[in-house]
């Protein structure tokens, strides 16, 4: 009976959260009104009713429609502040926030407005609540590598405001090798690297993320259990997996949360972590992910401690600060 309280109260880092996926329906409608953007939904209720997903793509279509209300620097600031306040309430002390600039620059939004709005929110949240954050620029894998390279060039004037890059959007059919050149360039620039791999896609995509994209963490990675040699490598090299239980349930990766393989990943000695992915769309922020996952799988307090420790180990903060957390 005390386990949910422990899960909620324990300090934790969040390492896999798309800021556009934190846009609550109420904020989507408020921004649509503020910006004069027309939405294909009549009201908050009918938008929320559309959140019935069958796979990753069925979610992405609605997620990109929701993001269409974001136009000004203030919009990005307001969205990020709302998430950061919510994260603080869940005792998140450090967060590494994904953002998808191409979703916005394709609509004519300036890169400066995207990054500066998010950055200012991170600065103000740390002053107000003590939460630290980093921004991670994600390339959209359904677009071309040329577009990713162009996006990187547009973002480099704001290099001081993001610590790394990632790869998201439609996984199957867009393998890591498509982005080998841009990630090698990012490595040469000293950017940290993560990539979505093995969410719906095969273990081969995880191998590719490690060997071709030089990924230091794997986002999702739950399909790794189908490849023993890969499991051994992830464990031996302590390559973290940023797992998102409610996302996996809602996108039908594990339709029943009781079947989630987090217990197996931890038992195998992997540095697995719990994260919220797109909390406004998947039914809960990080603490809801912890509480529902533990209730469904029967995990105990030892795994709770392990997951919190893993989240700090897997973060991109300097080793000196990690020591204080661990
Ligand atoms: N973009 C936002 N959430 C995502 C996910 N779970 N997988 C791939 N791309 C995403
Ligand atoms: Zn994700």
User: What is the predicted ipTM?
Assistant: 0.98
Q: What percent of the chain has pLDDT over 70?
A: 100
**Mean pLDDT score of the chain:** 98
| Closest approach atom of ligand 1 to CA 278 | 3
For 229-256, what is each residue's pLDDT tens digit? 999 999 999 999 999 999 999 999 999 9
Q: Is the pLDDT of residue 169 over 80?
A: yes
Best CA proximity match to 213, nearest among 305, 145, 111, 312: 145
In this prediction, residue 326 has a pLDDT band, given cuts at 50, 70 and 90, of confident
pLDDT attached to residue 243: 99
Q: Residue 212 and residue 223: Cα distance in Å, rounded?
A: 18
pLDDT attached to residue 323: 85
Instruction: Let me know if 199 is a catalytic residue.
Output: yes
What residue's CA is closest to ligand 1, atom 2?
18
Q: Assess whether the C-beta atom of 250 lies below 6 angstroms from ligand 1.
A: no
CB contact at 8 A, 40 and 62: no
**pTM of the predicted protein model:** 0.98
| DSSP states along 192-231 | EEEEEESSSS-HHHHHHHHHTS--SEEEE-GGGGG-HHHH
Q: Output the CA 13–ligand 2 centroid distance in Å.
A: 16
Q: Are strands 164-168 and 192-197 parallel, antiparallel or unpaired?
A: parallel
Domain boundaries, the chain: 3-315
Mean pLDDT computed over 58-85: 98
Sort 150 into a burial class: Cβ within 10 Å, 0-12 / 13-18 / 19+.
middle
Q: Residue 220 and residue 206: Cα distance in Å, rounded?
A: 10
What residue's CA is closest to ligand 1, atom 9?
169
Best CA proximity match to 18, nearest among 169, 221, 126, 120: 169
Q: Assess whether the C-beta atom of 199 lies below 6 angstroms from ligand 1.
A: yes
pLDDT attached to residue 324: 86
Helix axes 180-188, 145-155, angle to 10 degrees: 20
Q: Which residues pair with 197 in a beta bridge?
A: 220
Q: Residue 249 and residue 227: Cα distance in Å, rounded?
A: 22
For 171-182, what is each residue's pLDDT tens digit? 999 999 999 999
| Closest approach atom of ligand 1 to CA 100 | 1
Q: Is the pLDDT of residue 45 over 70?
A: yes
Mean pLDDT computed over 14-41: 98
Q: Output the CA 181–ligand 1 centroid distance in Å.
A: 22
Catalytic residue, chosen from 199, 200, 216, 288, is: 199
pLDDT attached to residue 325: 86
Q: Assess whether the C-beta atom of 168 lies below 6 angstroms from ligand 1.
A: yes
Q: Is the pLDDT of residue 3 over 70?
A: yes
For 72-113, what is each residue's pLDDT tens digit? 999 999 999 999 999 999 999 999 999 999 999 999 999 999
pLDDT attached to residue 1: 62
Q: Output the CA 169–ligand 1 centroid distance in Å.
A: 5
Q: Is the pLDDT of residue 189 over 70?
A: yes
Mean pLDDT computed over 205-233: 98
Ligand nearest to the CA of 248: 1
Q: Which residues of 27-55 are buried (b: 16+ CB within 10 A; e: fewer)?
A: bbbebbeeeeeebebeeeeebeeebebee
Q: Assess whether the C-beta atom of 247 lies below 6 angstroms from ligand 1.
A: yes
Ligand nearest to the CA of 140: 1
Q: Assess whether the C-beta atom of 56 lies below 6 angstroms from ligand 1.
A: yes
* 91 Rama class: left (phi>0) / alpha (psi -120 to 50) / beta: left
Q: Assess whether the C-beta atom of 22 lies below 6 angstroms from ligand 1.
A: no
What residue's CA is closest to ligand 1, atom 10?
169
Q: Is the pLDDT of residue 53 over 80?
A: yes
Pick the CATH number of 3-315 from 3.10.310.30, 3.40.50.20, 2.40.240.10, 3.20.20.140: 3.20.20.140
Q: Is the pLDDT of residue 11 over 70?
A: yes
Paired tokens of 159: 């290099």
Q: Residue 240 and residue 316: Cα distance in Å, rounded?
A: 11
């Amino acid at each position: 009976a005390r386990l949910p309280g422990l899960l909620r109260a324990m300090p934790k880092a969040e390492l896999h959260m798309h800021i556009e996926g934190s846009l609550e329906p109420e904020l989507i409608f408020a921004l649509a009104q503020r910006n004069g953007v027309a939405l294909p939904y009549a009201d908050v209720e009918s938008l929320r009713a559309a959140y019935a997903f069958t796979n990753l793509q069925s979610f992405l279509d609605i997620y990109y429609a929701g993001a269409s209300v974001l136009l000004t620097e203030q919009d990005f600031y307001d969205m990020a502040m709302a998430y950061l306040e919510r994260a603080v309430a869940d005792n998140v002390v450090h967060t590494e926030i994904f953002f998808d600039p191409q979703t916005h620059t394709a609509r004519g939004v300036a890169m400066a407005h995207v990054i500066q709005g998010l950055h200012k929110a991170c600065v103000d949240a740390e002053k107000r609540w003590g939460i630290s954050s980093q921004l991670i620029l994600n390339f959209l894998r359904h677009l071309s590598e040329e577009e990713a390279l162009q996006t990187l060039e547009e973002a480099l004037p704001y290099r001081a405001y993001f610590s790394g890059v990632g790869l998201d959007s439609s996984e199957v059919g867009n393998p890591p090798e498509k982005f080998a050149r841009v990630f090698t360039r990012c490595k040469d620039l000293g950017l940290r690297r993560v990539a979505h791999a093995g969410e719906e896609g095969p273990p081969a995509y995880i191998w590719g993320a490690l060997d071709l994209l030089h990924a230091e963490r794997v986002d999702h990675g739950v399909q790794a259990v189908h490849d023993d040699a890969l499991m051994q490598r992830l464990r031996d090299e302590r390559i973290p997996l940023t797992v998102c239980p409610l996302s996996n349930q809602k996108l039908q990766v594990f339709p029943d949360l009781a079947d989630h393989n987090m217990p197996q990943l931890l038992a195998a000695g992997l540095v697995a972590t719990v994260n919220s992915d797109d909390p406004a769309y998947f039914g809960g922020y990080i603490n809801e992910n912890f509480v529902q996952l533990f209730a469904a799988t029967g995990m105990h307090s030892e795994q709770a401690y392990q997951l919190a420790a893993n989240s700090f180990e897997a973060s991109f903060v300097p080793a000196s600060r990690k020591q204080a957390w661990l």
